[in-house]
Structure 1
């Protein structure tokens, strides 16, 4: 396989320049990451790989380690059974979230993506509020978001009603209704891709992500299973993130369903995701209006007039509060990391002074 078939271009060649003179390294792209084991692809074919001890030690956070879609520097030696990843080339985009659980750290779900397909089913999975969170992370990733609504045949009588609920959330983001099980609308996905372009499918379990890949591939690349009809819950057929190449030369990353969509660093993405609320807020009397009980609040006036849904405003305010709390946790984590580094340096200095011969500087 040629590197350009995996998305390599001249800018990647420049990124790789510091290693270009070494005979024991080559550029590769991460196809699979599973329990700290990797499958990478390059001009020499597919290889198994692990992260080198030095790279693991130098990484300040998990986000600095390889993720599916990353371009990495792979070292290959005759005395090593697997390749060793010794570097990660700069990312053009990455979709990340806060790690599930109580750990305050960033988890990169997929890297170097051109387009993010947010897949949501028109059954019990349907949730405009969850879609807002996906869109927030998609805008923050640097990739172009596209929303795909699947399973329109579950409740066809409510399709227009559901679309009316979703359109204020998606705004200018492309929105498509597809039925991959029947092959309907798959061409819409194919048109967003193309040779060397990378897409990523994000959404809950059982919404049809693997079915979309299989339709695009013209065969069963990813296993699929039925969902429970009572609650539309999937069974996590996809258990790990994987980058696959499609017959037309495009690349697509399938991901397991996310039980938690915790934010990490939304930044300007809030303004893009809640463009309607932000536009109304510009007419508020106070620049720092929180849209609670302040006088002459244009956003509250829009809710009263029925031009903005109360649920939309509630979601906006909840996300703002969540981001403030996250920023506090990140600051605390940074302080703890600085203390840890200071301890390590102090211990190293004491060891050096203890071992140094007396009377010598």
Structure 2
């Protein structure tokens, strides 16, 4: 029996109480059992806050504490031997095995949300782990940007998580223009055609926010992502029923918000679900592992109808994509974003392949060096 099973289940623990395997369990669940068997004296806890100085974990909705991480999670930049990459270190939503106040293992992830880290060198940054749903939050003010939403969805789907587009400030938009909310939803018609749910809500109204309840059942974990000022913290407060998260007004001239959320945090909800609030993100670089075709299936379907298989969709005769744009069936800005994101993902994929090749070469060189040292000094 897993200690305090009910408390663990309230923060998303996915395994049954008796600790035994099930015929229909996932590969990740089976991996969890293997890791847990190697640490019989450890207990599970979930990362609920990630700070530069360490982690705060919880083993129930009302009990959290700081833990000491493994040394390899704390290696300084530039230290190469034995260092794990940024995305391999624990993040909010991860499950750890704890002995006392020390982490001894990171349990395998069943889903991840990542982005390319800022900087010239290729790195991946973990946004959240073990998530069921991602709420892509966008305000129905000057923050509304279908192209940015497409970029968010590209990153989300790359991690194998269900996305839901949440359009906040529906009350303000309707007050200013009766057609604003229907017009915004219509602008995302391509997403709805691909099975992406779109919900317009007043983030301050509990009745309106109940439109998201179907993704917030007991044991589920959702994460809020979006730019600063989109209404993520307001949504969190409304779901909680209390003013837990700090909020602030956006600037009037461009609807930009301030970073009122300064770190990622996992919060248990009264519904039995868990919600991860994140700081606003303005830079969204692909990791190179995304599937552009999945996110632009409408464009891909049109491209298959072009006369030439290598059509560049510019001035070639019989180009179905250009015909759709000229006929008003395909938004030219959506097509331009498709080309832009395709180039970015291809570039990131090349950098990822180069980095993997480098690491493989370093591993071979390291083994050869160790072998020579063993032969010279007789080490075993």
Match 1:167 to one of 186, 189, 210: 189
Q: Tell me how far 1:347 sits from its aligned partner.
A: 4.2
Aligned Cα root-mean-square deviation (Å): 2.4
* Residue in 1 that maps onto 2:86: 62
Q: How does 1:334-349 map to 2 (within 5 A)?
A: 334-349=356-371
Alignment TM-score, normalising by the size of structure 1: 0.89
In the alignment, does 2:323 pair up with 1:301?
Answer: yes
For 1:290 and 1:29, locate their aligned partners in 2 and report how far apart those are by CA, in whole Å: 48
Q: In terms of mean alpha carbon deviation, does 181-190 or 201-210 score higher?
A: 181-190
Q: Which moved more, 1:232-241 or 1:277-286?
A: 277-286
Q: CA deviation at 1:110?
A: 0.6
Is contact 1:36–1:50 with CA below 8 Å preserved after alignment?
no
Match of residue 304 from structure 2: 282
Q: Do 2:114 and 2:126's aligned partners in 1 also have CA atoms closer than 8 Å? A: yes
Distance 2:182 2:271 in 1: 33
Q: Following the alignment from structure 1 to structure 2, what is the Cα–Cα distance between the partners of residues 288 and 94?
A: 34
After superposing the two structures, state which structure 1 stretch, 47-56 or 174-183, moved more: 47-56
Alpha carbons 1:27, 1:72 under 8 Å: kept: yes
Q: Do the aligned partners of 1:211 and 1:222 also contact (CA within 8 Å) in 2?
A: yes
Corresponding residue of 1:26: 43
Structure 2: 5+ residue runs without aligned partners?
16-24, 75-80
Query: Structure 1 residues 93 and 13 mapped into 2: Cα distance closer, same or farther (>3 Å)?
Result: closer
Residue 102 of structure 1 aligns with which residue?
Answer: 120
Query: In 2, are the aligned partners of 1:170 and 1:273 still within 8 Å (CA)?
Result: no
Given the alignment of the two structures, is residue 219 of structure 1 paired with residue 242 of structure 2, yes or no? Answer: yes
Question: Does structure 1 residue 142 correspond to structure 2 residue 160?
Answer: yes
Match of 1:200 in 2: 223
Aligned length: 351
Check whether the contact 2:8–2:59 (CA below 8 A) recurs between aligned residues: yes
Contact 2:288 2:347 in 1 (8 A): no
Report SS of the residue matched to 1:30: strand
* Structure 1 gaps, min length 5: 77-81
- Displacement after TM superposition at 1:19 (Å): 2.9
Q: TM-score scaled to structure 2, two decimals?
A: 0.85
Residues 21, 343 of structure 1: CA spacing in aligned structure 2 closer, same or farther, 3 A cutoff? closer
Q: Give the Cα separation in 2 of the matches to 1:250 and 1:263.
A: 29
Partner of 1:135, secondary structure, is helix
Question: 1:140, 1:265 within 8 Å by CA — same for their partners in 2?
Answer: no
Whether contact under 8 Å (1:113, 1:143) holds in the other structure is yes
Q: 2:142 aligns with which of 117, 121, 124?
A: 124
Q: Distance in 2 between matches of 1:18 and 1:106?
A: 24
* CA gap 1:21/1:328 in 2 versus in 1, 3 angstroms: closer
In structure 2, which of residues 337, 341, 349 is the aligned counterpart of residue 315 of structure 1?
337
- Partners of 1:24 and 1:293 in 2: how far apart? 67
1:75 CA drift (Å): 2.9
State the 1:346 CA deviation: 4.4
* Cα pair 1:71 1:88 within 8 Å, conserved: yes
